[in-house]
């Protein structure tokens, strides 16, 4: 009974469940899952999608940089492998090794790195200070790439990603504001109008059951 209460009082963030193998560029299926989470209530739907955390996986605080001395290609390969294995926290040193060598506007890499940061902020056995620090790094990465990318669709994709991450962390009004901004940037973004309407409804009626809010998937 106490264990149950404790888990309610301080529920540890959970790791995400197994994902299908990602295609090289646009992981449509995965993005649909993300979109569903975004639409259906972030943590609420996330609980159904995520599985419990593994035992302690945080490295010792003073661990040396495992990507030091690696070539960018080696680090990129390792980052992608760890990310696909649901080990986002461990993938970060490799992404960080690669990041300075990628063009600021390289959208696919930048979004993947930001997503890895966001996943890591939720999945690892780390303290909240580090979780938040990872999210600040994630949001900074998105801000950088938003400034660097060309064209409304690319900008909107970055903004939608930020909306998703803010929603998962519990900022519903900020998420709606970002989605509206994305729609203003790219009114033809597929399914975005419907997504905005659903999110707005969630804000108006927060206690609606999750399955009452079904809608189109959304990619970023």
Partner 1 sequence: MKPLVRSAPFLLAAALAIAAGCAPAPRTFDPDAIPEAYRRPTGALMWPGATRAFFVTPEGDLYNGEWRVRFDPSASGSLAGPPRAIAAEDRWLPVLHWTRRAGDVRFEFEAVAAGSPRDSNLIVSLAVEIVNGGTAPVPARLAVRLEHPGAAPVYVALDAPPGLDAPLRWAAAGSKQPVHAWSDGRAGGETEREASWTLRPGERRRIRFAFPAYPMEAGALGAWARSPHANRVTEARAYWTRILGEGMQLALGDPEVERAVAAARVILLSCCERHGERWLPIGGPFHYRDVWLRDGARAIQALALCGHTKVARELTRGMLAFQWPQGAFLSQRGQLDGTGQALWLMDQALMRPAPDDSVAHFASAALAAWEWLARQRTAGRETGTAFGTMMPFGDPNDAELARAQLVGNDAWALAGYAAAARLLRASGEIAAAAAIEDSLSHYRDDFERALARTGRPDLPPAWQPVGRDWGNLAAGYPCMVLPARDARLFALADRVWASAGGAGLTWYGTRDSLHYYLGADLGTWALLAGRGAQADSVLEALLHWRTASGGAGELFTREGEFGVNLPPHATSAAALVTLVRNSLVFDEGDTLRLTLGARTSWWRGARIAHAPTRWGKLDFDFRQEGNAAEWRWSPVQAWTALTLPPGTRVSGRLLPPLRAGASDREVLAPPGTGGARVTLVTGNR
Strand partners, 50: 16
Tokens of 48: 């159904």
Please say which residue, 71 or 127, places its beta carbon nearer to partner 1: 127
Applying CB under 8 A, the span of 56-64, 108-116, 185-193, 212-220 interacting with partner 1 comes to 56-64
Closest approach of Cβ 73 to partner 1, in Å? 28
Q: HEC string of 52-94?
A: CCCCCCCCCCCCCCCCCCCCHHHHHHHHHHHHHCCCHHHHHHH
Asked if residue 79 lies in contact with residue 98, where contact means CB atoms within 8 angstroms, the answer is yes
Told to check if 218 binds partner 1 by CB under 8 A, we report: no
Ranges within 86-115 binding partner 1 (CB under 8 A): none
CA atoms of 41 and 207, how far apart (whole Å): 10
Closest approach of Cβ 8 to partner 1, in Å? 6
* Among 29, 32, 43, 102, contact with partner 1 (rule: CB under 8 A): 43
Please say which residue, 8 or 68, places its beta carbon nearer to partner 1: 8
* Among 22, 29, 30, 44, contact with partner 1 (rule: CB under 8 A): 44
Query: What is the biggest distance separating any 2 CA atoms in the chain, rounded to whole angstroms?
Result: 55
Told to check if 177 binds partner 1 by CB under 8 A, we report: yes
Please say which residue, 69 or 129, places its beta carbon nearer to partner 1: 129
Told to check if 64 binds partner 1 by CB under 8 A, we report: no
Told to check if 55 binds partner 1 by CB under 8 A, we report: yes
Strand partners, 51: 15
Applying CB under 8 A, the span of 1-9, 29-37, 68-76, 98-106 interacting with partner 1 comes to 1-9
Ranges within 112-171 binding partner 1 (CB under 8 A): 122, 125-129, 132-133, 135-136, 139-140, 143, 168-171
Told to check if 66 binds partner 1 by CB under 8 A, we report: no
Q: Which residues bind partner 1 (CB under 8 A)?
A: 1-3, 5-6, 8-11, 13, 41-44, 55-58, 60-61, 122, 125-129, 132-133, 135-136, 139-140, 143, 168-174, 176-177, 200, 202-204, 206-207
């Amino acid at each position: 009974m106490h264990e149950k209460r404790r888990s309610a009082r301080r529920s540890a963030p959970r790791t995400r469940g197994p994902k299908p193998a990602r295609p090289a560029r646009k992981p449509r299926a995965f993005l649909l899952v993300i979109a569903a989470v975004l639409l259906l209530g972030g943590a609420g739907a996330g609980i159904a999608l995520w599985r419990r955390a593994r035992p302690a996986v945080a490295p010792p605080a003073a661990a040396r940089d495992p990507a030091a001395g690696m070539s960018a290609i080696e680090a990129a390969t390792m980052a992608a492998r760890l990310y696909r294995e649901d080990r986002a926290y461990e993938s970060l040193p490799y992404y960080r090794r690669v990041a300075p060598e990628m063009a600021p506007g390289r959208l696919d890499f930048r979004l993947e790195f930001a997503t890895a940061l966001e996943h890591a902020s939720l999945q690892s056995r780390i303290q909240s200070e580090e979780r938040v620090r990872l999210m600040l790094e994630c949001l900074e990465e998105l801000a950088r790439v938003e400034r660097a990318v060309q064209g409304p669709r690319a900008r909107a994709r970055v903004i939608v990603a930020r909306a998703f991450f803010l929603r998962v962390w519990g900022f519903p009004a900020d998420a709606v504001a970002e989605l509206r901004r994305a729609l203003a940037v790219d009114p033809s973004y597929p399914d975005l109008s419907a997504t905005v309407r659903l999110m707005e409804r969630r804000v108006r009626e927060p206690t609606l059951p999750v399955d009452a809010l079904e809608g189109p998937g959304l990619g970023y």
